[in-house]
Structure 1
Amino acid sequence: MALDVTAERLIPLPRDRVAGYAMDWRHDAVWTQGIREARLTRAADRGGFGPGAEVTRTAYFLGKRIDYVLRVAAYEPSRLLDMVSVAGPLPMHVTYTFDLHPRGTLARIRVRGDAAAHYRLAAPLMAWKVRSSLRKDLRDLERVLTSSPP
Structure 2
Amino acid sequence: MPVNIVTSIEIACPRAEVSVFAADPDNATAWYSNIKSVEWQTAPPLAEGSEIAFVANFLGRRIAYTYRVVELVVGQRFVMSTEQGPFPMRTEYSWVDAASGTLMTLRNSGQPSGFGAIAAPALAAAMRRANNKDLLRLKAILESHHRDGARPHPVS
Residues 14-93 of structure 1 aligned to structure 2 (within 5 Å)? 14-43=14-43, 48-93=45-90
Shift of 1:49: 1.1
Shift of 1:90: 1.4
Shift of 1:36: 0.2
Aligned counterpart for 1:132 among listed residues 116, 129, 133: 129
Separation (CA, whole Å) in 1 of partners of 2:4 and 2:85: 18
Amino acid corresponding to residue 20 of structure 2 in structure 1: G
After superposition, the Cα gap between the structure-2 partners of 1:120 and 1:25, relative to the gap in structure 1 and judged at 3 Å, is same
Bigger Cα displacement from structure 2, 119-128 vs 10-19: 119-128
Asked if the contact 1:36–1:59 (Cα under 8 Å) also holds between the matched residues in 2, the reply is yes
Amino acid corresponding to residue 14 of structure 1 in structure 2: P
Shift of 1:85: 0.4
Shift of 1:124: 1.7
SS at match of 2:114: helix
Q: TM-score, normalised by structure 1?
A: 0.92
Aligned counterpart for 2:91 among listed residues 91, 94, 99: 94
Amino acid corresponding to residue 57 of structure 1 in structure 2: F
Shift of 1:125: 1.3
Q: TM-score, normalised by structure 2?
A: 0.89
Bigger Cα displacement from structure 2, 120-129 vs 14-23: 120-129
Q: Structure 2 unaligned runs (5+)?
A: 152-156
Separation (CA, whole Å) in 2 of partners of 1:55 and 1:86: 13
SS at match of 1:17: helix
User: Among the aligned pairs, what percent are the same residue?
Assistant: 29
Q: Structure 1 unaligned runs (5+)?
A: none
Amino acid corresponding to residue 41 of structure 1 in structure 2: Q
Q: How many residues align?
A: 147
SS at match of 1:116: coil
Shift of 1:122: 2.2
Asked if the contact 1:36–1:58 (Cα under 8 Å) also holds between the matched residues in 2, the reply is yes
Separation (CA, whole Å) in 1 of partners of 2:2 and 2:33: 21
